């Protein structure tokens, strides 16, 4: 209940309400873009400052390796399951959407941990960046394989090198990684200098952005009406399964509870910005309203309201608060 009463979460709920009653409340796209870039820059700085303090340890390497493994396993398993029930191109696109990550879900989880004075590794921002691209690359491989098997007249296979280049040079991802480098180089003095920007403003900016996300979520939910009920089940159940997989790997590698929590959040999240934007031209055969409606209309709200506190509580219960 305490997490739901957080102002940022309440603004998200208010955005959903405003969208459902078809209010003309709207956040200009340019402002929404600025807010997302601000959050990524502030998160990158926080991660960089933390890495400057801790250095690169075997535990950090284990966390990053676990993140990459999840980024490969989740879309691979998702595609094998989904293609049994729906169009194979849609299956590839949905698998990529759920195999990638939601930066805003991650940022909200970080804020939750800080509000409850629970420790986590700043390097987990790098883990988020590493988990962004593998799912897109795998989806392109799936789609290209399907095109080779299909009849003539289908779109030409997408260049994997082009997708890889665009994934690695995406502006938002570069900003996150660049901010981390700045934080590592500037260290404690940089942290003190940037505190008013990356610390004091963060909570209010997150609340404003979640208001916009609530509006978007309410408007995307109707797009999945009339779809297979298996789609709804997938959007609700598989995030829990992905989080459980992440927890199992975290326990196996003996990661701290805070890092395990964020791995669970990342595994359970689904992209609704970067990946759908790429999928529109890499897999035009797939239905955008399907994978975007699922990730933004169902999974994102569930994670914000219920998933984040659940994953964090389970991780700290299983692994231990003091770990």
pLDDT tens by residue, 104-137: 999 999 999 999 999 999 889 888 888 888 888 8
DSSP 37-66: HHHHHHHHHHHHHHHHHH---HHHHHHHHH
Q: What is the rounded CA–CA span in Å between residue 202 and residue 44?
A: 12
pTM for the full model?
A: 0.87
Q: How many CA atoms lie within 13 A of 252 on its CB side?
A: 9
Q: What angle do CA 139, 143, 148 make, to 5 degrees?
A: 150
Distance CA 303, CA 296 (A): 10
pLDDT at 167: 64
Taking the C-alpha atoms of residue 295 and residue 323, their distance in angstroms, rounded to an integer, is 32
Question: Which ranges in 195-226 belong to alpha helices (H)?
Answer: 202-220
Q: Where are the alpha helices (DSSP H) in the chain?
A: 7-20, 29-54, 58-82, 88-99, 103-115, 124-130, 134-149, 160-168, 171-194, 202-220, 229-252, 257-268, 274-282, 288-294, 300-302, 308-319
82 HSE (CA, 13 A, CB side) = 31
pLDDT in tens, 251-284: 999 999 999 999 999 999 999 877 887 788 788 8
Residue 214 near residue 15, CB atoms below 8 Å: yes
pLDDT in tens, the chain (323 residues): 455 678 888 999 999 999 999 999 999 989 988 998 898 899 889 888 888 887 788 888 999 999 999 999 999 999 999 999 899 999 999 999 999 999 899 999 999 999 999 999 988 988 888 888 888 888 888 888 888 877 554 556 666 677 666 666 667 778 888 898 999 999 999 999 999 998 889 889 999 999 999 998 898 888 777 777 888 999 999 999 999 999 999 999 999 999 999 999 999 999 987 788 778 878 888 888 889 889 999 999 999 999 999 999 999 999 975 55
Q: How far is CA 196 from CA 50, 102, 172, 201, 205, in A?
A: 17, 25, 22, 7, 12
CA pair distance 128, 151, nearest whole angstrom = 38
């Amino acid at each position: 209940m305490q997490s739901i009463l957080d102002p940022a979460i309440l603004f998200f709920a208010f955005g959903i309400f405003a969208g459902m009653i078809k209010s003309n409340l709207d956040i200009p796209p340019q402002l929404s873009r600025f807010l997302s870039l601000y959050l990524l820059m502030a998160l990158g700085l926080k991660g960089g400052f933390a890495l400057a303090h801790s250095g690169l340890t075997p535990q950090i390497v284990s966390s990053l390796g676990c993140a990459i493994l999840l980024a490969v396993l989740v879309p691979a398993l998702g595609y094998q399951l989904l293609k049994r029930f729906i169009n194979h191109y849609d299956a590839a696109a949905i698998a990529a959407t759920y195999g990638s990550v939601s930066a805003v879900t991650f940022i909200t989880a970080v804020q939750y941990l800080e509000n409850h004075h629970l420790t986590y590794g700043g390097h987990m921002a790098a883990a988020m960046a590493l988990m962004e691209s593998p799912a897109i690359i795998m989806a392109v491989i799936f789609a290209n394989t399907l095109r080779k098997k299909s009849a003539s007249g289908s779109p030409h296979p997408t260049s994997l090198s082009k997708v890889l280049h665009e994934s690695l040079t995406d502006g938002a991802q570069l900003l996150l990684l660049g901010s981390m480098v700045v934080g590592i180089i500037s260290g404690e003095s940089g942290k003190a200098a940037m505190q008013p920007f990356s610390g004091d403003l963060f909570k209010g900016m997150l609340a404003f952005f979640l208001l916009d996300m609530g509006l978007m979520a309410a408007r995307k939910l109707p797009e999945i009406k009339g779809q297979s009920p298996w789609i709804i089940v997938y959007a609700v159940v598989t995030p829990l399964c992905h989080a459980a997989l992440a927890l199992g790997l975290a326990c196996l590698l003996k990661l701290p509870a805070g890092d395990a929590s964020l791995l669970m959040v990342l595994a359970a999240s689904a992209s609704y910005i970067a990946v759908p934007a790429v999928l529109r031209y890499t897999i035009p055969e797939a239905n955008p309203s399907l994978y975007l409606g699922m990730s933004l209309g169902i999974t994102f709200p569930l994670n914000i309201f219920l998933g984040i506190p659940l994953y964090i509580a389970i991780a700290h219960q299983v692994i231990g608060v003091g770990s």
